Structure 1
């Protein structure tokens, strides 16, 4: 049976995932806007784009779109599998949404910035930024051009993803500083310590949301809509205790594994299966020996009686 036969609502599923990706990018943009107005810094890529766009008297949306077009050309040439609808949504809308939300925020709120407002905006910005990243990532419709660079370099240069990502983030951070982009505490947190929050949102919000909506797309019904609201309403916020390594793992998940990493993972799984079979075989042998000894003792007891 073809894929279309198995899932006659495949187009609806793709549409729903695309909307999820768009919502994720919008929430991400709200978070970036709050970090921007709070003067706590932004992720290295956006910070660099803001710095350069200001010098060129271009809007962030226009300059970031042009930058993404240049990057995506290299991504298509080197590894087009990382490109999807989500890639287009991110590269086209993220920058413009930050522009729109920044204008809306300025129009709605008129106050003198203080340390307190900076802290509040920064904390809310990080929460929204990581939530949006998690939702966008979980939709699994392709990666942002910037996030495709490190895994491609890792695969092509045979260097660990971890080191490629560090060089990439630090390089863009230095470039953002030179360009006068908004670098601050949030830049460091997003680059190195955002993993725990993104992982938290994955497990408590994004995966449940995407699974529920994808399930609905296969068999649409009013009952499932009600169940989806019920699941969303029961999601809560908890703290997580992981940092840098988990952030790298999350970024790697966002970027997808390279071919070499997939091969290494496959080999590890084979070894695990082999070890599991050996353990099972030994357990069966030991169980047989125990049962045999148990029967022998029972026979001896029956003879004594």
Structure 2
């Protein structure tokens, strides 16, 4: 039962994360760094996000398998196969339902996507069944090769992603800033007050 719960949480977290990427793309008020990178490369080749998410994440996964396979698990595979597809599905659905959203609707989409991304991350990380290939890069640099502390390795990888996105017409904005500043604390809140109690079999109230 415990293992089934972990797999279910990881799967739900990955699917929800993909939906949130599609919402952020539709809001067009800024996306997270890796989404920025993938979207930029997809723009370069006039292709879809899901196609290049699979290609780029698969390439990174091969690197991680060579350098530190410890970080690879079933959640990594869920991430590789589902995130891009779910993002394109949600973006397409929103294009059909609200083809030309106003600024207020876009703002609501952005805020909802950020909150649910934090919930998704809490489920995904609490399940502890592997990390995404992109997340593993900074972990490897920091803990295997001890190049710099993790936070600086992550800043470097995120900065490279943002620069690539900027080079290929990806919109950066308030969503990017909010993601950078608030995702960590909000993810931790969801992890302590929702994900961990779910994993252990019972919800507890927030402190």
Same fold by TM (over 0.5)?
yes
CA shift, 1:207, in A, is: 0.9
Give me the whole-angstrom Cα distance separating, in 2, the residues matched to 1:59 and 1:21.
Answer: 25
Match of 1:123 in 2: 111
Give me the whole-angstrom Cα distance separating, in 2, the residues matched to 1:116 and 1:192.
Answer: 22
CA shift, 1:36, in A, is: 1.5
RMSD over aligned Cα, in angstroms?
Answer: 1.9
Question: Is it true that 1:139 corresponds to 2:127 in the alignment?
Answer: yes
TM-score normalized with structure 2 length? 0.91
CA shift, 1:192, in A, is: 3.7
3-state SS of the aligned residue for 2:172? coil
Deviating more after overlay: 91-100 vs 23-32:
23-32
> Tell me, which stretches of 5 or more residues in structure 2 are unaligned?
none
Query: Cα deviations across residues 154-196 of structure 1 (Å, max 9, x unaligned)?
Result: 1314321121111111111111111222322212222343111
Aligned length: 206
Query: Cα deviations across residues 203-238 of structure 1 (Å, max 9, x unaligned)?
Result: 1111111221xxxxxxxxxxxxxxx5xx4xx767x9
Match of 2:196 in 1: 207
Question: Is it true that 1:178 corresponds to 2:170 in the alignment?
Answer: no
Match of 1:114 in 2: 102
Query: Cα deviations across residues 24-44 of structure 1 (Å, max 9, x unaligned)?
Result: 111112222222211111111
CA shift, 1:79, in A, is: 0.7
Match of 2:88 in 1: 99
Give me the whole-angstrom Cα distance separating, in 1, the residues matched to 2:191 and 2:27.
Answer: 26
1:90 corresponds, among 79, 97, 105, to: 79
Query: Cα deviations across residues 2-61 of structure 1 (Å, max 9, x unaligned)?
Result: xxxxxxxxxx54343222111111111222222221111111111111121123132211
Question: Is it true that 1:148 corresponds to 2:136 in the alignment?
Answer: yes
3-state SS of the aligned residue for 1:96? helix
3-state SS of the aligned residue for 1:17? helix
Match of 1:77 in 2: 66
Give me the whole-angstrom Cα distance separating, in 2, the residues matched to 1:120 and 1:108.
Answer: 15
- Is contact 2:43–2:168 with CA below 8 Å preserved after alignment? no
Deviating more after overlay: 202-211 vs 93-102:
202-211
- Is contact 1:169–1:191 with CA below 8 Å preserved after alignment? no
Q: Which entry has the higher C-alpha Rg, 1 or 2?
A: 1
> Tell me, which stretches of 5 or more residues in structure 1 are unaligned?
1-11, 213-227, 239-305
3-state SS of the aligned residue for 1:194? helix
- Is contact 1:51–1:182 with CA below 8 Å preserved after alignment? no
- Is contact 1:52–1:181 with CA below 8 Å preserved after alignment? no
CA shift, 1:132, in A, is: 0.8
- Is contact 1:48–1:176 with CA below 8 Å preserved after alignment? yes
Query: Cα deviations across residues 140-166 of structure 1 (Å, max 9, x unaligned)?
Result: 100000000111111314321121111
